[in-house]
Amino acid sequence: MSDANVNGNPDSTTPAQEPRHLRRALILWGVLSVIGIVLAITLTQFILPVSASDLDNADNVTIVVFTALAVPVALFVFVFLGYSLFAFRTEGRPTEDGIPLQPRPLLQIGWLGITSVLCLFLVIWGMFAFYQETATAAPNTLVVQVTGQQWMWTVNYPQYNASSSGAQVIELPVNRPVRFDVTSDDVLHGFAIRALGVRVDANPGEMSSTPLVTPTRIGSYTVVCVELCGLYHSYMWESVNVVSDAQFNAWITSQGGHL
């Protein structure tokens, strides 16, 4: 964009002594955008929670990228809005009218073009990231069957003939791909583990599978229910423990499963 495009009215000529508003605002916007992008990339590291899987890590990266892209877009509006209010306000009721500007075709096309490119980038990035997540396959996949009911999760490990219904806990071995097959006994529930980037609805009468997710960090995380399921919805919590292979095997045996 240049001065000529926005000062679109051919009749209006800028008097020489008047400040170059557009140039000032654009410079302000550019400087703030650079600072903003740097801040966004550094600060999101502290804002985002610890990620404990490849999936969650990829999703967090997407959040950072989108935030960095969003900063100049948001600042464009903020800067031009703020500048207008600062530079063009009148004291009390205005006695004369503003200059009747109309957008030139070049400005309209340019604006449409830039926003379209941004929008398509988001879509393509999203499709690509999502495809990467869903297209992976692994031979040693651990299958975990999860059944939601009001108001608890029951977990089965069909490959080991084990279940954790008594313990109210999900144990996962680190660095091994896992797939959750989720269903519900009564109403709609939402099975979500933020640290693993896993989120799928538990539908009554249907089995829904998550993409393969590989826990990468040993630690204790939480399953929550993210679809309102009645009275104790906000108490429908359970622990997820990502443990070493040896600990996982010991735990499976202790739950009555066989390796």
Partner 1 sequence: MTETRRTNLVQTLFPSVLSGVVLGVIGAIIAGVIVAHFVPDNTDAIVVAAYTGWVIFFFIGIGAFNGVWKWGFGRRDATPAEELQLAGKDQGLWRYFRYTTDHKVVGMQYLVTVLAFFFLGSMGAFMIRLEQAVPGAIFFTPSTYNTIVGMHGILMIAATIIMISGPFGNFVLPIMIGARDMAFPRLNALSYWLLFSIIPVFFSTLALGGFPTGWTGYAPLSVQELTPGMDAYCFTLIIFAISTTVAAMNIVTTVMVMRTKGMTWGRLPVFVWGVVLSVILGLTAFPSFLMSQVMVLMDRVFETSFFIAAFGGNNWLYEHLFWFMGHPEVYVIALPSMAAAAEITAVFARKPVFGYRMLVGSLVSICILSVLVWGHHLYTSGSESALDGPYMLDTELISIPTGLFFLVLVGTLWRGRIWITVPLLFVIGMLVNFVIGGITGIYLADLPTDEILHGGMFVTAHFHFTLVGSMVFGFFAAFYYWFPKMVGRRLNPVLGKLHFWLFEIGFVGTFTALFYAGLQGEPRWSANVAPPFVTANLIASLFAILIAVSVFVLVYNVVTAVVRGEPATANEWGAKTLEWAVPTPVPLENFEDLPEIKVLPYDYGATPAKTGSDSVVDAPLQPQAES
**Residues between 89 and 148 with contacts to partner 1, criterion CB under 8 A:** 89-90, 92-103, 107-108, 111-112, 115-116, 118-119, 122-123, 125-127, 129-130, 133
Question: Interface with partner 1 by CB under 8 A: which range of 82-90, 140-148, 170-178, 241-249?
Answer: 82-90
The residue (of 16 and 231) whose beta carbon lies closer to partner 1 is 231
**Spatial distance between the Cα atoms of 221 and 79, rounded to a whole number of angstroms:** 41
- Of the pair 35, 259, the CB lying nearest partner 1 is at 35
- Count of residues engaged in binding partner 1, rule: CB under 8 A: 87
Contacts of 72 (CB under 8 A, 6+ apart): 29, 33, 36, 37
Q: What number of other Cβ atoms are within 10 A of residue 64's Cβ?
A: 17
Q: CA 204 to CA 98: how far, in whole Å?
A: 61
In the range 200-239, which residues lie near partner 1 by CB under 8 A?
200-206, 208-209, 222, 224-235, 237
**Segment contacting partner 1 by CB under 8 A, of 28-36, 161-169, 195-203, 238-246:** 195-203
To partner 1, the closest distance from the beta carbon of 52 in angstroms equals 12
Separation of alpha carbons 242 and 246, rounded Å: 12
Please say which residue, 113 or 256, places its beta carbon nearer to partner 1. 113
Host H or E run for residue 166:
none
CB of 259 to partner 1, least distance (A): 30
- Least separation in angstroms between residue 83's CB and partner 1 is 8
Closest by CA to 146, choosing from 220, 196, 197, 209, is 209
Which residues are CB-contacts of 151 (< 8 A; sequence separation ≥ 6)? 225, 229, 230, 231, 232, 233, 235, 236
Give the footprint of partner 1 on residues 32-71 (CB under 8 A): 47-49, 55-56, 58-60, 62-63, 66, 70
Please, which of residues 170-189 interact with partner 1 by CB under 8 A?
182, 186-188
CA distances from 132 to 40, 128, 135, 169 (A): 25, 6, 5, 29
**Residue number, 33 or 249, with CB nearest to partner 1:** 33
Point out which residues pair with 185 in neighbouring strands: none
The reply on whether position 6 binds partner 1 by CB under 8 A is yes
